Amino acid sequence: MKGPTTLISNDQSDPANLKSQKEKAEEFRALHRRGRILVLPNAWDVASARAFENAGFPAVATSSAGMMVSLGYPDGEVIDRNEFVQAVRRIAKILTVPLSVDVVAGFGETPDEVVSTVREVVKTGAVGVNIEDFLHAEKRLFAVEKQVEKLKAVRKLSQSLNIPFVINGRTDAFRFGEGDEPARLKEAIRRATAYKDAGADCVYPMGLVDPASISTFVKALNFPTNVMVRKGLPSVKELERLGVARVSFGPSASYATMGLLKRISKEVLEKGTFDSLIDGAVSYDELNNLALPRA
């Protein structure tokens, strides 16, 4: 009988990738269970990922919205899966810290299709995946039973590859569920509990901002919980007090970057000055180095 296969997709001869993929996966998993909150920035390309690593973040994730738009597609699964995987591969190749990838809903409605996507993403060197439970095009939640089947299949894949990559089970029940806010929170808890039992390593109730709702969710799950940066979200210190294990940027860094470009454009066109374009900017060498392997 064949034993589990280990994927070591990063070039181990490169000093930037001395850690094996399995070691990175174990390191990323440990960041969720250390008793201190993990602040996880979401990048959209090689340069943004490298900038976050250089800033000192212990891990980096991708933003589906940021990445898709940077490649010329709206958020969701309009992009061809192979093109998506190639973009992930370029990011994974440049990083030395663990990389988690937002695979949207897995580019398929069946467990086999989702597993196929995750397998290709893990081959790039990624050690975490974020999987949603709704269809972007229709803003429709999948049946919880169907999502559980997908997560169980992805967990089985992790075991077969002998890479303990982190599965972040996202639910959008708080956004797209039926009923009032308490009913949607209850549904988010129900779904997240099912995803936890199906093998997720972390659960992600998209849309929670209010401290009371976050506290209710975290206490109900008693399990690593991810929230996303949104207007009104409590500080990192307060989230840690509430028991949150991970706070991710989501597309907020992309929003901020595009907002800066709007302000730059407005200043140049309306005032004829360049302060916003120059103040705080990196140098040519800094920009170029974001694409170069580490010495």
- C-alpha of 210 from chain center: 21
In a domain? residue 67: yes
Q: How many helices (H) and strands (E) does the chain have?
A: 13, 11
Domain residues for the domain of 144 are 16-255
In a domain? residue 11: no
Given this model, what pLDDT does residue 184 score?
97
Given this model, what pLDDT does residue 19 score?
85
In a domain? residue 275: no
Dihedrals φ, ψ of 266, to 5°?
A: -65, -45
Element (H, E) at 84: helix 81-94
Q: Which amino acid is at 21?
A: Q
In a domain? residue 261: no
Count other C-beta atoms under 10 Å from residue 241's C-beta: 13
In a domain? residue 280: no
Give the CATH number for residue 107.
3.20.20.60
In a domain? residue 236: yes
Structure tokens at 108: 């398929």
In a domain? residue 101: yes
237-256 pLDDT per residue, tens: 999 999 999 999 999 999 99
CA distance 240 to 225: 11
Sign of CA dihedral 144, 150, 153, 158: negative
Beta sheet of 128-131, edge-to-edge order: 42-43, 60-62, 99-102, 128-131, 166-171, 202-205
In a domain? residue 206: yes
pLDDT 10s per residue in the chain (295 long)?
A: 445 544 544 443 344 456 899 999 999 999 998 889 999 999 999 999 999 999 999 999 999 999 999 999 999 999 999 999 999 999 999 999 999 999 999 999 899 999 999 999 999 999 999 999 999 888 899 999 999 999 999 999 999 999 999 999 999 999 999 999 999 999 999 999 999 999 999 999 999 999 999 999 999 999 999 999 999 999 999 999 999 999 999 999 999 999 999 999 999 999 999 999 999 999 999 999 999 987 6
Model confidence, pTM: 0.93
Instruction: Work out how many domains the chain is built from and give that number.
Output: 1
